[in-house]
């Protein structure tokens, strides 16, 4: 099913049940530029986009109005249940000044989500003529919003450039993993280096390079050197890549101290209790495999305590953390 809206369409109204922060917006005014982002509380990439959205709202204050609308939060089986509003409200309040823009919540019938088209995180840039100029991921919009504000944006050229970039990355990925399967490891690594050089701000590529390097030498020195480089240089938007800790823990030559350092970095950058809890969960596992059971239990308890206030909303993730704590406690005895 194709999206209901495309660039060039007139922006439809935003139908919300409540505005939780900032000014309410239902229709778009002539002469004003808007960024409309769609997301939901449990969406990690949505939370990762919060700092950039706040920075754009600050940088273009008076020129661009940034809006976030929470979608898919309600209980579809009970349209009269409005408890989802308080869930979103607690999250917005917990973020405080980290969210520097307006936030609304879709109605139980998900009218705005259906009208605008599903996707999270998903950004629409509305130009001064109340027209959708661009649709995409929040990580890709910085250059676009600069051009919309300066009135130099060319939708056709931008669409072609974005499509070519996606096709190029897919072709590179296919070649990299094909060469790995054929045992051409150095060629695959060289190709990954080229991809990183072209896209230094895509953190997932560093994770993939670690996977290529893992086990290539007896001490895993090349793979671990990459991790140490990341810790020194801290590329932009690396806060969601704590999965690298998992990769290090499961490595043929695991360095648990490195896994802990990556987890600490990710926790420092995390902006949501849910993701922080699972970063701590990984850190606890590293301490467990390192043989420090008491530290593992302490950190696992910290992860659980972050989730307890929301146990009615997210019982299954909390249960998984509690089961691992029970395992650690059993091993200690």
What is the average pLDDT across 138-154? 88
Query: What is the tens place of the pLDDT at every residue in 216-233?
Result: 888 899 999 999 999 998
Give the up-direction half-sphere exposure of residue 254: CA atoms within 13 A in the CB hemisphere: 18
- 274 pLDDT band (50/70/90 cuts)? confident
CB 206 within 8 A of CB 230: yes
Residues 6+ apart with CB under 8 A from 262: 227, 230, 231, 241, 242, 244, 245, 248
Name the residue ranges covered by the structural domains of the chain: 16-153, 158-332
Q: Does the pLDDT of residue 145 top 90, yes or no?
A: yes
Q: Which class would CATH give 16-153? A: alpha beta
DSSP 8-state code for residue 97:
G
As given in the structure block, the two tokens for residue 261 are 């350092």
Higher pLDDT, 43 or 57: 57
pLDDT of residue 237: 67
pLDDT of residue 1: 45
DSSP 8-state code for residue 150:
T
- The angle at the Cα of 27, spanning 21 to 29, to the nearest 5 degrees, equals 100
Burial label for 240, CB within 10 Å (0-12, 13-18, 19+), is middle
This prediction has a pTM of: 0.72
The dihedral through the CA atoms of 305, 309, 315, 317 has a sign that is negative
pLDDT of residue 44: 78
Burial label for 309, CB within 10 Å (0-12, 13-18, 19+), is exposed
Number of CB atoms found within 10 A of residue 253's CB: 14
pLDDT of residue 239: 64
Query: What is the tens place of the pLDDT at every residue in 88-125?
Result: 999 899 889 999 999 999 999 899 999 998 788 999 99
- C-alpha span between 333 and 328 (Å, rounded): 9
- C-alpha span between 227 and 249 (Å, rounded): 13
Query: What is the tens place of the pLDDT at every residue in 162-211?
Result: 778 888 888 988 999 899 889 898 999 999 999 989 888 778 889 899 99
As given in the structure block, the two tokens for residue 62 are 């008076």
Residue 100 pairs in a beta bridge with: none
**How is domain 158-332 classified at the CATH fold level?**
1.25.40
């Amino acid at each position: 099913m194709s999206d209901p809206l495309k660039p060039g369409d007139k922006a439809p109204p935003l139908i919300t049940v409540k505005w939780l922060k900032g000014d309410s917006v239902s229709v778009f005014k002539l002469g004003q530029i808007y960024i409309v982002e769609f997301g939901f509380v449990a969406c990690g990439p949505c939370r990762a986009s919060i700092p950039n959205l706040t920075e754009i709202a600050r940088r273009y204050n008076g020129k661009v109005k940034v809006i976030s609308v929470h979608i898919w939060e309600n209980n579809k089986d009970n349209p009269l249940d409005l408890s989802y509003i308080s869930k979103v409200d607690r999250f917005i309040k917990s973020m405080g000044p980290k969210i520097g823009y307006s936030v609304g919540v879709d109605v139980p019938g998900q009218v705005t989500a259906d009208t605008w088209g599903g996707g999270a995180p998903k950004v629409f840039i509305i130009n001064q003529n109340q027209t959708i100029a661009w649709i995409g991921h929040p990580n890709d919009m910085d250059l676009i919003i600069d051009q919309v504000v300066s009135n130099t944006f060319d939708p056709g050229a931008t669409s072609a450039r974005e499509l070519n970039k996606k096709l190029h990355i897919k072709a590179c990925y296919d070649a990299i993993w094909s060469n790995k399967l054929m045992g051409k490891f150095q060629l695959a690594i060289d190709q990954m280096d080229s991809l990183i050089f072209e896209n230094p701000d895509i953190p997932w590529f560093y994770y993939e390079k670690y996977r290529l390097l893992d086990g290539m030498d007896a001490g895993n020195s090349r793979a671990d050197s990459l991790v140490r480089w990341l810790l020194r240089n801290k590329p932009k938007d690396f806060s969601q890549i704590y999965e690298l800790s998992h990769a290090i823990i499961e490595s043929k030559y695991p360095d648990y101290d490195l896994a802990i350092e990556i987890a600490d970095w990710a926790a420092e950058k995390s902006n949501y209790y849910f993701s922080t809890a699972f970063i701590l969960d990984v850190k606890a596992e590293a301490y467990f495999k390192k043989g420090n059971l008491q530290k593992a239990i302490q950190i696992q308890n910290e992860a659980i305590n972050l989730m307890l206030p929301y146990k009615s909303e997210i019982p299954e993730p909390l249960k998984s953390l509690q089961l691992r704590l029970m395992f650690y406690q059993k091993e200690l005895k």
